[in-house]
Amino acid sequence: MLGAALLEPETYEEAALASSGWTQAALVVVLSSVAAGVGNLGGGLTGFVLGFLGALLGWGLCALAAYWAATRKFGVPRTETTWSATLRGLGFASTPRLFLVFTFLPAIGFLVGLAVHAWTLITIGFAVKPALDLEARPAIAVALAGWLPMLLVWALAAIVV
């Protein structure tokens, strides 16, 4: 997780290649979703549930949108291997979202959330590059395609609570 957060390319290359990283990647997604739920505790139990489910949904939409953009717009082959590598890489790319736990802070919580999501955009770019064998510019476009739905779901969950 530290390597992912610090944008170490080796971490993302290993995630793309090592099918044994499934459990770790899934754990990062779940923990970051719990952190988002805790960040929404100001809204009580409903806030926690909305934050948690919103984070899971946002991550799922991110994975689908990034994969769709890569396969439809940049010619990445649609295979089990590319899909698995994408999911593992994006799982580790969720590491910065652990800091969503601090979105409960009055006055700056929303800014913390925006900063975390900006950081997450960068980690998504680092994740999709080796997972989908993309050059830098297409990786940026794919990262944006995945990040936007994630950001929108998070913002909606924050507004509802």
Provide the residue range defining the domain that includes 70: 2-160
Q: How many domains does the chain have?
A: 1
What pTM value is reported for the model? 0.91
Sign for the CA dihedral angle at 95, 132, 54, 106 comes to: positive
Region 104-122: mean pLDDT is 92
**155 pLDDT above the threshold of 80:** yes
pLDDT in tens, 82-91: 899 999 999 9
- Encoding tokens for residue 120? 């997450």
Sorting pLDDT into bands at 50, 70 and 90, what band is 16?
confident
What proportions of the chain, in percent to the nearest 5, are helix, strand and coil?
85, 0, 15
**39 pLDDT above the threshold of 90:** yes
Summary mean pLDDT of the chain? 92
